[in-house]
Chains A and B, each alone.
Chain A
Amino acid sequence: MPDIIAKSDGQKIAEAEVDDFRRELGPFVVAAETTRMAMVFTDAKESDNPIIFANNAFLDLTGYTREEVLGQSFNFLMARGTDPDSLARIDAAFAGTTGGSEISYRRKDGSVFWSAVLISPVRDESGVIVQHFASFVDLTDHKREQAQSRMLIDELNHRVKNTLATVQSIVWQALRNASDVNVIRDSIEPRLFALSRSHDLLTRESWEGAGLLDLVNAALEPFGIGNGRSEHFVITGRNIRVSPKVTLALGIAFHELATNAVKYGAFSNKTGSVLISWTIEPSPEGDWLHLRWQEKDGPSVTYPSRKGFGSRVIERGLAHELEGTVDLDYRSEGIVCTINFPASNGARDG
């Protein structure tokens, strides 16, 4: 806190001049006193531009009392942590070379605020600058919005980069496992659309998460869950909220399971069906989500001679991503995939 300085003669004269203003320019002084824009007048006759008038808005903004402010140098608000650059910009504004600047100030309680400072000279009849008039526009909200928007752009960039890497891995796998153009396209396109559906789902909820039931319905939409084959799906589970990360991971996993079912499993004949169910259960380490994909009445299942991309994604990728366990059981009566992961990693009720 700055010391209260005994009023110099100059300060007394300057205050008398403000009193004169008050008498002569009544309505304008009242306006300066009552406006919500923070304002001060400074004495131009002294080198450090002492403050000779401060309105209530200025006192509210800075947390000082009028007695603590009057007589102080204009720069007293920057007493701690003043950078030479800010001081130079204030000097330039007083000299009239610039109209003002954006400055970081400290309140009496030490908290920092950003302000646009606008400084204008006040001249007497002969044109001599006798005072300066400074107004302060609080930029704290503006600066906070700027920082937030910077953060959103960084986050968007991060997601785009991750999505591009995901697309790269889809293309990489397709080119690695096939040379026929049609096979390559059939490997790439449905996965890109699966990714796109998960993005749609998350965008609808501002990327805060998605409902598990909505997620299952979106992932299985191309496989006829909404029309055509709806009788082949039995889904039991509440629309539990899961995180964006879990949404993306499960979206791909359900797509891979369903694609496999079309090729070899319960969606490859007329009678087959799949039961998808989930529950949340308490454990010593907190709540776990237990999810189960169970096929039946499809062709008899045999253990694959070679594991494809889809099963690696589910068994290794999904378990890693969810920090849980995933088991893909090739039972002859139908594939059973069990997925268990800590609910704190992205699932919660509601």
Chain B
Amino acid sequence: MLILIMIEDMLADLGCAAVTSAATVNQAIALIESQNFDVAMLDMNLNGEMTYLVADALATHGVPFAFSTGYSSDDIRDGYRDRPVLKKPFMDKELAEVFTHLLRRAALL
């Protein structure tokens, strides 16, 4: 939970005006269906559950996203291999690069 506060601070420093977080797959999907997000960061594993359902929801709603993971051996499922992955722990510089890349690509579409 300290990590969440740090990531929020990193994102605020990058100029994100609002940051919303979800702790479970269901919470995340409910948020994606009720709000518009410019960009998302998705932990590959929430409470021991893989989060591909959330990835599917983000893809359906056209929200650009990157994965984050603390596992070194997580295999990314087909269809998501081209998504950026942030390996924990990561530096604010890496977060900035990934989000800049995601938002730039989204702007070109």
Mutual binders A and B: yes
A162-B70 in contact given A249-B1, A323-B23 (Cβ < 8 Å): yes
Counting chain A residues whose Cβ lies within 8 A of the other chain, the interface size class is: 20 to 34
B89 and A161 contact, CB distance less than 8 A: yes
A325 to chain B, nearest CB (A): 13
A168-B89 in contact given A154-B73, A157-B72 (Cβ < 8 Å): yes
CB-contacts of B20-39 with A (<8 A)? 21, 23-24, 27
Binary contact readout B43-63 vs A (1 if CB under 8 angstroms, 0 otherwise): 000010000000000000000
B73 and A312 contact, CB distance less than 8 A: no
CA of A312 to CA of B9 in the docked complex: distance in angstroms?
11
Interface size, chain B (Cβ < 8 Å): 21
Binary contact readout A246-271 vs B (1 if CB under 8 angstroms, 0 otherwise): 00010010000000000000000000
A158 and B70 contact, CB distance less than 8 A: yes
Q: Which of A170-178, A230-238, A332-340 contacts B (4 or more CB under 8 A)?
A: A170-178
Which one of A154, A158, A172, A317 lies within 8 Å of B4 (CB-CB)?
A317
B5 and A161 contact, CB distance less than 8 A: no
Binary contact readout A159-199 vs B (1 if CB under 8 angstroms, 0 otherwise): 10110111011101100100000000000000000000000
B1 and A154 contact, CB distance less than 8 A: no
Q: Which 10 A-B pairs have the closest CB atoms?
A: A317-B1, A169-B6, A161-B70, A165-B89, A321-B1, A169-B2, A165-B88, A168-B89, A158-B70, A165-B3
Q: A168-B3, A173-B2 are in contact. List 10 more A-B contacts (CB 8 A).
A: A154-B72, A158-B71, A166-B2, A169-B5, A169-B6, A249-B1, A309-B5, A320-B1, A321-B4, A323-B24
| Chain A contact residues, CB within 8 Å of chain B | 154, 157-159, 161-162, 164-166, 168-170, 172-173, 176, 245, 249, 252, 309, 312-313, 316-318, 320-321, 323
| Chain B contact residues, CB within 8 Å of chain A | 1-6, 8-9, 21, 23-24, 27, 47, 70-73, 87-90
